[in-house]
Amino acid sequence: MAWQYVLFYKPYGVLSQFTDRQETSHPTLKEFIPIPDIYPVGRLDRDSEGLLLLTSHGKLQHQLCNPKFGHPRTYWVQVERIPDADALKKLERGVTIRNYRTRPAQVALLSAPPPLSPRIPPIRFRKQIPTAWLTMTLHEGRNRQVRRMTAAVGFPTLRLVRIAIAHLQFDGLQPGQWRHLSSTEIKTLQSLTRLPHL
């Protein structure tokens, strides 16, 4: 049987799993992806959006989830207020969150909001408090890391959208949509992980 590789645009409020083990009544991946025996590579929190890679290839899933692998993950991050150069430098160099120092990251302030579908429900709006968008690329994936990083430098995250996992990108996907990886994308995964016969 051929391995399955699926890229999914997880909407806000959806759990990154196929069953709701705690019976919270939140939607799960099962409501969007009708493919058996595939599992997420990593996860996105319920209140985060964006790309999720799923596969039936257990060794690939294990390797990509291993912190030693350190493949890049890129996010668009809407924060409260407008970060100054000092805050951006701190995020780039790494910040301490929960007794852990984050690895260096690539961080930039976007000049305009990115082309995203409106979030449902929308983020909270405060007339007196401006917001800004950042692009952040991390090489690690600790629990709620982006949110904790921006909070640590004084700019809480309002909306978080993962737009790339290594070389994998949206390519026209809308929230709730999924697609199979192309043969080229699978070959690039193979070269990144050095796993034969993906």
Q: Which of 20, 37, 45, 84 is catalytic?
A: 45
Q: Are 33 and 54 in contact (CB under 8 A)?
A: yes
Measured in degrees and rounded to the nearest 5, phi and psi for residue 62 equal -60, -45
CA torsion sign, 165 to 21 to 98 to 79?
A: positive
Three-state SS for 80-136 is ECCCCHHHHHHHHHCCEECCEECCCCEEEECCCCCCCCCCCCCCCCCCCCCEEEEEE
Q: Are 166 and 53 in contact (CB under 8 A)?
A: no
- Helical segments of the chain, H only: 58-65, 85-93, 145-152, 183-193
Residue 45 annotated in active site: yes
What is the CB neighbour count within 10 angstroms for residue 80? 19
Q: What single-letter DSSP state applies at residue 60?
A: H
Alpha carbon distance 95, 90 (integer Å): 6
* Active centre residues (catalytic): 45
